[in-house]
Structure 1
Amino acid sequence: MIQLFLSIFLSSIFWQQEPVMAWNANVRLEWSDFKASPQQRAEVIAVTASGLSFGYSTTRYPNGRIDYEFDVTAHFYPEKSWFMKDLVTNITLSHERLHFDITELHARKFRKRVKTARFSSNIDAEIDVIYNQINKELRAMQKQYDTETSHSRLVEKQEEWNRQIQEELKKMEAYR
């Protein structure tokens, strides 16, 4: 018996048919990728909208064995991302790029947890639990990053975060 279950979840963004960019080590975000109009009363000068989407399929056998295929992608949402042209710098762009890299780091963590998990017949709920944990960790890290760098204003802290995230991405290369 084959049961196909496909679910797509977006981190803090409702599913819509809109342009998205998947994370790619060879493609860096540029200001031209940020398509939304700036929010004039915002407390920040740029916003990177990014999140995780995932899907999986399961094959269930009469003997109770379950095989699954799993995919997760870190996405950037151009139509929800914006910047204030007269206020941003290259440091600001580096800061926004790292938000997307942090999302990719959590995609890799998600892949690792799913790959190393021992699922029961309740695989659907168990994957949802992992997703919710990863998403909570992602939101916490994004908030910590903005706080510690003061949204890119603390250049030395920004450089520390750049190094730290690049090191963590390298450590998780097997889950790319």
Structure 2
Amino acid sequence: MITHFIAFLLTALTGVGQANFIEWSPSRKLTWDDFKAPPDVASTNAALTSSSINVEFGYDEEELQFNIKCSFDKNKSWVRIRNNTILLHEQGHFDIAELHARKLNQALKAYHFNAKTVSNDVNRIYDSVMTLHHAAQNEYDKETDFSRNKEKQTLWLKKIADDLQGLKTYAAYSKQ
């Protein structure tokens, strides 16, 4: 039961800066106004999307409860060049994060609960999905040449949309 309290406490404490975050939603697309950070002078990128996938979990002797959040951080995301192609590319990054939040949800729902190892198990599952997430983000940038390869960009956006649709049953992040 203490674990439940800790998760709740972390939620209460982190709620203070929530105005800086946008939770992923199929109806809420990014706009350039969402990119609040100054551009990184050391980077040659046109823009940067800072997104995160967080999981809060608790358990008792019988089961795991969890909540997942996929968020865009306005204060860590920046833009140097503003055009629709780049904005769609950045939305693709946020959508890839959502795709992996759903994969995390899928993996946690498939998890066979073990009270003795649950914390390590959840961390292992999270780390495994995050490894896939980071690889997908890097592959996206590489194959699209950071949005400059328009044909690959179009193919990737379709693939991301199809993958999101394929995992729509895992869009509900909490298991109570």
Q: Which residue of 2 aligns with 1:12?
A: none
Structure 2: which 5+ residue stretches go unaligned? Answer: 9-13, 172-176
Conserved 8 A contact 2:63-2:113: no
Q: In the alignment, which residue of structure 2 is the partner of 1:25?
A: 26
Distance 1:141-1:16 versus aligned 2 partners, 3 A rule: farther
Aligned-partner residue type, residue 140 of structure 1? A
The partner residue of 1:69 within 61, 65, 81 is 65
- Give the letter aligned to residue 35 of structure 2: F
How many residues are treated as equivalent by the alignment? 162
Q: Corresponding residue for 1:103?
A: 97
Q: Does the 8 A contact of 1:74 with 1:103 survive in 2?
A: yes
Structure 1 counterpart of 2:54, one-letter code? S
2:45 aligns to what? 44
Contact kept in structure 1, 2:32 and 2:82, CA below 8 Å: no
CA contact (8 A) 2:56 2:67 kept: yes
Q: Against the structure 1 CA distance between its residues 134 and 35, is the aligned structure 2 distance closer, same or farther, given a 3 Å change threshold?
A: same
Q: Give the RMSD, CA atoms, in angstroms.
A: 1.7
- Conserved in 2, the CA contact under 8 Å of 1:72 and 1:107? yes
- Pick from 146, 150, 153 the counterpart of residue 145 of structure 2: 150
Residue aligned with 2:45, SS: coil
Q: Percent identity?
A: 30
CA positional deviation for 1:59: 1.6
Tell whether the 8 Å contact from 2:103 to 2:167 is kept in structure 1 after alignment.
yes
Per-residue CA deviations over 1:18-76 (Å, capped at 9, x if unaligned) read 4211101110000000000012331211000001011112122xxxxx22211111110
CA–CA separation in structure 1 for the residues paired with 2:135 and 2:53: 15
**In structure 2, how many angstroms separate the alpha carbons of the residues matched to 1:88 and 1:78?**
16
Q: Which runs of 4+ in 1 moved over 4 A?
A: 5-8
- What amino acid does structure 1 have at the position aligned with 2:76? K
Q: Which residue does 1:135 correspond to in 2? A: 130
Q: Which has the higher mean CA deviation after the structures are superposed, 97-106 or 49-58?
A: 49-58
Compute the TM-score of the two structures, normalised by the length of structure 1: 0.87
- The answer for the alignment partner of 1:90 in structure 2 is 84
Question: Quick one: structure 1 residues 7 and 137, their matched pair in 2 at CA, closer, same or farther if it must change by over 3 Å?
Answer: farther
Using the alignment, how far apart are the partners of 1:67 and 1:16 within structure 2?
A: 26
Separation in 1, partners of 2:140, 2:16: 30
Name whichever structure is richer in helix by fraction. Answer: 2
Q: Which of 77, 101, 108 is residue 114 of structure 1 equivalent to?
A: 108
1:17 CA drift (Å):
5.5
Change in Cα spacing, 1:16 to 1:49, as seen in structure 2 (3 Å) is farther
Q: Secondary structure at the match of 1:118?
A: coil
For the residue of structure 1 that corresponds to 2:139, the secondary structure is helix
